[in-house]
Structure formats: structure tokens, C-alpha cells
Amino acid sequence: MPVRLALAAAALAAGAIAVAAARDDTAAAKVELGRRLFYDADLSVDGTMACATCHEQRRGFSDGNATHPGVTGAPGRRNVPGLANVAARAALTWGDPRVRTLEAQAAIPLFGTHPIEMGMKGHEAEIGKRLGADACYRAQFRAAFPSGGVIDATQVVTAIAAFQRTMISRDTPYDRYRAGRQDALSASQRAGLRAFATRGCTACHAGTDLTDDRFHAIAPPAANARDTGLAEITGRAADAGLFKTPGLRNVAVSAPYLHDGSAPMLADAIRRHDTARGLDDATIAVLADFLTGLTDAAFLHDPRLSLPPPGCPRPLSPAAAPDAGRASAPRG
């Protein structure tokens, strides 16, 4: 290759590397920003509720209540699902197949009214005003969205979604067993794993996250008269009582169970399946024991997913410095 061309190619390659690095940097900045937003109660109308108020890390990002009321005290309708590997879900929520992206989903707790959760509907402009008043946030939004203009809800949900895509859980006793470590599961858990396959659980709880991402009825619709599930969206009587198969990672730390939180223990949740009729107590016990092998202790304590330390994550430019960073912990 003539020297001049070689130089040009090298310059192009260097340019490509610089562009890739810049892109990576934006991605990392989005995750970092999204993490702070996930824990920030300023995203709720009265400053009392963050995403993390309902999605607690130590419970696999679910919560310990049957349902969780929103900022107005209006009762929640459904049980808070965990968020392990949520980026892999083909459909989000218990019953609405139209919610297919984390960005679209995040708008529901922020602006939704059925039920009211964070209560920001009608207060959209507050988001830019509140977050823009904080110098750390201004710097973080600039790093995440270099050509982004004013801080708005689109940027907020984009960053939160980027953070949620880092909620990856692949390190459980079950995973280690599947990688060949026989002793990663106890004898009882191995018996439960066998029953899980032979008793038909894998027909729906399939794949690495133990969900087929599809909608099923585990009991006759009459059992769920107060919440018709998929039928609420499709309007089809045949869809009454269908809910999305929940993934089962970290299920042992996310009681209570089912879409309405009506099953206090794993054994109760299993017994509520019509298909589990005829399972004896011993089989249900080993099934429940197997499910405890899906707990990812590292995920539940991963500092990268926890409440970020207060203050600015990176040094502020002098121009941005004057007003100090506020705490980003959920208040209340």
C-alpha cells in the first residue's frame, strides 16, 4: 500500500476507535445516570417514591408486599415483579403484551393513572425543572446525551432503561449445577429440578430465566374475577385470567407471589396451578426447594446496582460546580 494511503487508513482506524470510545462513554454515562434516577424520589410528584421504593435490590428488585400503594395512597393493583434479566423479556408487566421495551414500561409508573404510582402525569415539566436545578445531574445528562438539549422524560426513561439492562443475574446454584457442578444443588433440590421437568412446569417456565414470556391461565378465570389479566387489553373473553409466566430467578426472596400477591409462600404459589393438582406434599416441597436454588446472592448485593453514593459520580467542570449535589436517596 502506498505510504499516504496507509497513513490515511491508520487515521481512519484511529477515528473509528475514537468514535467507538465516545459511544461507549455515552453508554456508561447513561447507565450511571439511570442508576441515580432509579433511586431518586424526585421522579415522583411529592418526592416520596422512587422506582427503588417498590423494586428493592435485596428482594431481586421486587418488594415484600402483596401490592404497593402509589403516592396518593391509591392501592396498587398487582404484585411488584423482580427485575433480574428484565432486558431479556419479550413482554413486560403481568398482562399487557403491548409493553415491549423498558423505555415504554418506565413511563407507566411515572405517568400512569391506573393505578397512580409516581403521579407525574400533568407534571411533566417538573422533571426538567427539578433535575436541571442540580449541577451533578446537569453534568450527567450532558455526558449521557451530548446533543440532547433540555432534560426531559425521554432522556429519563432512556437512562433508566440503560441501567435496568445491567441487571443481569446468571450466577445461582442452578447455573453452577448446569455448568457441571453436581454439588451446587442439594439432593432435594436436584429431585425438585427433576420434578420441575417431569411435572410439566417447563412447559411455561422454560429457558434460562424460567419463563416463556407468554400468557397463560393457571386456574379458571373465576379464580381471578377482580383482575381479568390479558382480557383487559384484548377485550377477548378467552383471554380472561391469562397472565404472563413470571421468570423464577430470585423467586425465593420475592414473596408474596402471583399477579395479586395472594400466595404467601412458594408452596402456595405452586398449589394454585391447576396442573399441580395431584402433586403430593413431598413433591411440592422439593419443587419449592429447587426454586431456592435460583437465588443469586451476588446480584442481590452487587454494589453496581445499589443506591449510588451521594454527590457527583465524576468531577464537575468548574462551570457546573456552584450548587452542590443533593442526596439521591428515596425520601420517605
Least separation, in Å, of the C-beta of 302 and ligand HEC? 17
With cell 465516545, the residue in question is 22
205 labelled ligand-binding: yes
With cell 445499589, the residue in question is 306
Q: Which of 152, 30, 254, 24 is nearest to 269 (CA)?
A: 254
Radius of gyration of the chain (CA): 23
3-state DSSP assignment of residue 103: helix
Nearer to ligand HEC, 62 or 139 (CB): 62
Least separation, in Å, of the C-beta of 54 and ligand HEC? 3
114 labelled ligand-binding: no
Least separation, in Å, of the C-beta of 55 and ligand HEC? 6
Which positions touch ligand HEC (CB under 6 A)? 49, 51, 53-55, 68, 70, 76, 78, 80-81, 83, 86, 89, 92-95, 102, 105-106, 109-110, 117-118, 160, 164, 196, 199-201, 203-205, 216, 218, 243, 245-246, 251, 254, 257-259, 266, 269-270, 273, 275-276, 287, 291
Least separation, in Å, of the C-beta of 17 and ligand HEC? 33
Nearer to ligand HEC, 139 or 291 (CB): 291
Nearer to ligand HEC, 186 or 320 (CB): 186
Least separation, in Å, of the C-beta of 64 and ligand HEC? 12
With cell 430470585, the residue in question is 250
- Cβ-based neighbour number of residue 201 at 10 Å: 22
3-state DSSP assignment of residue 263: strand
Beta strands in 10-62 (DSSP E): none
Nearer to ligand HEC, 190 or 259 (CB): 259
Give the separation between CA 300 and CA 318, rounded to whole angstroms: 37
* CA atoms within a 13 Å half-sphere pointing along the CA-CB vector of 3: 0
312 labelled ligand-binding: no
DSSP state for residue 212 in the 8-state scheme: -
- Binding site as annotated, residues: 51, 54-55, 201, 204-205
- Binding site as annotated, residues for heme c: 51, 54-55, 201, 204-205
